[in-house]
Chain A
Amino acid sequence: MNQEKTAIGPWLFWSLITIICFGFGYINTNTYNVETMGANGYWAIPLAAVCTVPGLIAVYFLMKRFPNHNVIQQGTLIMGNFFGRTAGIIYLLFLLVYFIVFTTDVDILVHSYLLDSTPFYILCAIDLIITVYLSTRGIETISRIASFVILPLVTIVFLLFSFIIPEIRIDRLMPIFDFRFNFKSVGGPSILHIFYPMGLWALITPYCHGIHQKIPRMTLLAFLVLICLFLVDSIVTIGIYGHTYISQLPYPSIETFRTVEISYIFIEQAGLFGVIVLLASTIISSGFSLYAISLGMSQVLGLWDYKRFVWILTPLIFITNIHLAHPGFIKSLSHLFAKHGWMVIWGYPILLSILAFIFKKKGKTTHGS
């Protein structure tokens, strides 16, 4: 009892996947949704949830079959050492680049809205320091932080959105059931990106031993909360700005928050406080992502442990951050990942689960990392 147990409980699991999806998703979700579905962009959220289910089922299936291994180790067990490692490296590199693009986008947000005179590399460095500090603490600490922050975060976000509701014009959200998917343009599958971070769960499945039975319930609860959060975000943003104006905004949700005005009490521009709250979720998401990627790297290369890899990746991430720091470039990269990322994030677990089923592969009872 008195030694640290490397496992997470059901509530910690729920907090983790909810907060990382929210942290990753709030920045660009409205942009992609309206580009794909116009004024019905809010429908993209339940649609994305439904499309995410097969990938999650694949991860769950693999977890049950290989309870002590994560997706990287499962790859080597199913596809053999060479192909498994190669596929694992590609998978992790994809996640790493996605992570770098995301963190650069957030740093640009901070630079634009909060600290425009501070040199960009300083912001990157400091953000990375805190992210690295969090990620080196391990899954239990990260999930505890997520658990601590999630309830106040959800409350504040809902409260802030409720202040903007009087500004909504229902006509901007209509027609409600006029589905015209715009897959030909830059939108398309990019609506699925909201739930991509759930795929990171595949890297920490060994720490979910003991809660396998509760995972479907907790995942459903996470879906419900995330759908509510993003739906409210989408409905409010489209309701006040209209779908054509949103495409001109780099961070539509942030702009929505900035319109909040609570007159004649201490806070005049409540929106910036909302920005701070969202940034907190972003840092936790970054910390977890870096932890998961480092863990995978150490496993796929068979070297050291995740802490060393966090330190190895840090300078690489920092240098890439400062060189990618052009807003237009980052947005288009982000869009590219959003549009095609599902192929890797969900495609890889689905492929592994199919192969495991066909070749009847099952896990051994050796310990994971």
Chain B
Amino acid sequence: MNVRSKKSNELNIIQSVIQEAGNPADLRILPFGRELSVYLIYLNSLIPLEKYQDLIGHLPLDRPDREQSRLPMRHETFQADLGITEAVAKLLAGHLLIVKPGTSGIAALDVQGWLKRQPEEPQTERLIRGPREGFVESLDDNIGMIRRWIQDPNLKVEEIVLGRRTKTRVAVLYLDDVAQPRLATEVLRRLKAIHIDGVLESGYIEQLISDRRTSIFPLTQATERSDKAASAILEGRVVILVDKSPSSVIVPVTINEMYQTPEDYYFNFWIGSFLRLIRLLGNNLAVVLPGLYVALVAYHPELLPTQLALSIAGTSSRVPLPLIAEVLLLEIMVEVFREAGLRLPGAVGQTLGVVAGIVLGLSAVQAGLISPSTLAVVSITAIASFTGPNYSVDISWRLLKFIMLIAAAILGLYGIVLSGIAILVHAADLNSFGVSYLAPWAPLQWRTLKDGPFRAPFWARLYRPETWRPQDELRSGGTKKEDEH
């Protein structure tokens, strides 16, 4: 084959790639190597190759492998002899395509070139004590963070690609000798069953693999904290990481996990247990308090202490609205302010909170629009709803609060009981990957209850939670007693 036909062969390949890729504006073709016979094709938006100018010279085009390349690489660093379609897929995924003379196939070299955020503490999962590290948008970085926590060869990382157009990489992590084998299999089965145009966030995955998609309760757990995800893996659960999403998905989950934070384990068990109880109390207050207030004041004032009943009667006698309307209006306004505060820039958001909470509230009381007792109840509810460590659970609780409020408005205390039972029935009916949502309360698992409302000290926590049915039940290492087992 003469030089001209070789060259035209390479040019044909390049032309085919350009055509297949849709001739994007950020496509670059860089002649390279001796005699400029090698062509590098890449997307400038994904690989700012100019940054790697000095390293390009070291690009081992003869035998590019991990040891020799000084560019950052993954384990699937280099693939050779790709067809046009496969090569374009790699191009779009951020790979560097190499068209070499004398080859009909295209080689693809993976270089990490796109912009990445530095790990920082998640905004919605702040702790007083604990690492300030949260997941970022890069799947590889996130896997790396987990690997730094769990340096165990049994840590399995399985990867699939989801989204017909977005081709989003999804990784499933679990400990092979701890997690139930069928759990990982089931997770992968559900992931592979997803046929969707694009996966933009882990929330898509959460909803698509959930056991009951119409439930108000979250049946998966989302976290941006790497320590929380690592802890879940150590218990025998499965963590799903999604590329371009800082939020990981942990399955299975029970209601017990919804009020636990890593902080409970970083302090001693007295403090950890106390914090958990406060959170439980806060959660319950946030759900029940407005309904209870309406039920007591409107249906069963005989249950109120006399002084309180007189005080409420006196202060609410001038309010034009019926009590339920007053409470509903205030609750809805609190939700509106909460949502508005999220969208505003930091300082303005804080100011809005102060203005809304103090100024507006007091003005409304003085104007006789609402009564002070209602304002107090709604404020306590709003603040108590922030005790939940899990944002998706907080939102679920806020919705439940409205259900109980309406039930209380219709039937008083009996309505609260009925709605409470209906909610419990719904929760009891839920399973998360085969695990009862109300575990360890229903079915009662005494061993796991040590990590329920109270956090048992480490020397008493010899076994992993039986809720996840781990293969290796014993948590070994750390104390002499554990080592003796």
- Which residue of B180, B303, B418, B436 contacts A268 across the interface (Cβ within 8 Å)? B303
B425 interface residue per 8 A CB criterion: yes
Bound CA span A143–B443, Å = 8
Q: Is B102 an interface residue (CB 8 A)?
A: no
Given contacts A134-B421, A272-B300, A279-B417, contact A148 B438 (CB under 8 A): yes
With A1-B180, A133-B422, A268-B304 known as contacts, the answer to whether A147 contacts B411 (CB < 8 A) is no
Query: A151–B460 Cα gap in the complex (Å)?
Result: 23
Residues of A near B429 (CB, < 8 A) are 137-138, 141
Chain A 242-266 interface residues, beta-carbon cutoff 8 Å to B: 264, 266
> Which parts of B397-432 form the interface with A (CB within 8 Å)?
411-414, 416-418, 420-422, 424-425, 428-429, 431
Chain B residues within CB distance 8 Å of chain A? 180, 182-183, 186, 299-300, 302-306, 411-414, 416-418, 420-422, 424-425, 428-429, 431, 433-434, 436, 438, 441-444, 469
Question: Which residues of the partner chain B approach A146 to less than 8 Å between Cβ atoms?
Answer: 442
CB distance from B400 to the nearest CB of A (A): 16
Q: Is A12 an interface residue (CB 8 A)?
A: yes
Is residue A3 contacting chain B, with contact meaning CB distance below 8 A? yes
User: Which A1-38 residues sit within 8 Å CB-CB of chain B?
Assistant: 1-4, 9, 11-12, 15
A268: chain B residues within 8 A (beta carbon) = 303-306
* Given A267-B303, A279-B414: A145 in contact with B183 (beta carbons within 8 A): no
Shortest 7 CB-CB distances between A and B: which pairs?
Answer: A144-B442, A147-B442, A144-B428, A2-B434, A148-B442, A11-B444, A141-B429
- A-B contact list, 6 entries, CB within 8 Å: A1-B180, A114-B299, A114-B413, A137-B425, A141-B425, A147-B442
- A-chain residues with CB within 8 Å of residue B417 when the two chains form the complex: 276, 279-280, 283
List the interface of chain A (C-beta within 8 A of B). Answer: 1-4, 9, 11-12, 15, 110, 114-115, 118, 126-127, 130, 133-134, 137-138, 141-149, 151, 264, 266-269, 272-273, 276, 279-280, 283-284, 287
**Known pairs A110-B414, A147-B444, A280-B421. 10 more at Cβ < 8 A?**
A1-B182, A1-B186, A15-B444, A114-B299, A118-B411, A130-B422, A133-B422, A137-B428, A272-B303, A283-B417
CA distance A115 to B300 in the complex (A): 9
Contact with A148, one of B186, B306, B434, B441 (Cβ below 8 angstroms): B441
Q: Is A114 touching B412 in the complex (CB atoms < 8 A)?
A: yes
Q: Is B413 in contact with A148, judged by CB distance below 8 angstroms?
A: no
| Cβ–Cβ contact A11 & B300, under 8 A | no
- In the bound assembly, the distance between CA atoms of A137 and B414 in angstroms comes to 22
**Which residue on B lies nearest to A264, using beta carbons?**
B305
- In the assembled complex, the Cα of A264 lies from the Cα of B180 at a distance in Å of 53
Q: Is the CB of B433 within 8 A of A115?
A: no
**Within the assembled complex, what's the spacing in Å between the Cα atoms of A280 and B420?**
9
Chain A positions within 8 Å of B183 at CB level = 1-2
Chain A contact residues: over half helix, strand or loop, or mixed? helix
CA distance A3 to B431 in the complex (A): 9
Query: How many angstroms between the C-alpha atoms of A144 and B435 in the bound complex?
Result: 12
Q: A11-B444, A12-B442, A269-B303 are in contact. Are A283 and B418 (CB under 8 A)?
A: yes
Is the CB–CB distance between A1 and B424 below 8 Å? no
Please determine whether B424 and A145 come into contact, CB atoms closer than 8 angstroms.
Answer: yes
Q: In the complex, how many angstroms separate the beta carbon of B193 from the nearest chain A beta carbon?
A: 13
Alpha-carbon distance A126/B306, docked complex (angstroms): 31
Contact of A115 among B304, B412, B441, B442 (CB under 8 A): B412
| B431 contacts A4, C-beta separation under 8 Å | yes
CB distance from A59 to the nearest CB of B (A): 22
Residues of B within 8 A of A118 (CB): 411
Is A144's CB under 8 angstroms from B305's CB?
Answer: no
| Bound complex: CA A279 to CA B412 (Å) | 14
Interface centre among B413, B424, B428 (most CB of A within 10 A): B428
- Interchain CB contact under 8 A, A147 and B441: yes
Across the interface, B433 reaches (CB within 8 A) one of A2, A269, A283, namely A2
B425 touches A134 (CB 8 A): yes
Residues of B within 8 A of A267 (CB): 303
Complexed CA–CA distance, A142 and B428 (Å): 8
User: Which residues of chain A are near B443, meaning CB under 8 Å?
Assistant: 9, 11-12, 143-144, 147
User: Given the complex, which residues of A lie within 8 Å of B418, measured CB to CB?
Assistant: 126-127, 130, 283
Q: How far is the CA of A115 from the CA of B414 in the complex (A)?
A: 8
Cα distance A206–B438 when bound, in Å? 24
| Measured CA separation A115–B304 after assembly (Å) | 17
By a CB distance below 8 angstroms, the chain A residues around B431 are 4
Question: Contacts A1-B183, A110-B414, A279-B414 hold; do A145 and B425 have CB atoms under 8 A apart?
Answer: yes
Q: Measured between alpha carbons, how far is A115 from B416 in the docked complex, in Å? A: 13
What distance in Å separates the Cβ of A110 from its nearest Cβ neighbour in chain B?
6
Q: Which of A2, A149, A268 has the most CB of B within 10 A?
A: A2
Q: Nearest residue in A to B431 (C-beta to C-beta)? A: A4
Closest residue of B by beta carbon distance from A117: B299
Which residue of the partner chain, among A3, A15, A144, A273, contacts B436 with CB atoms under 8 Å?
A144
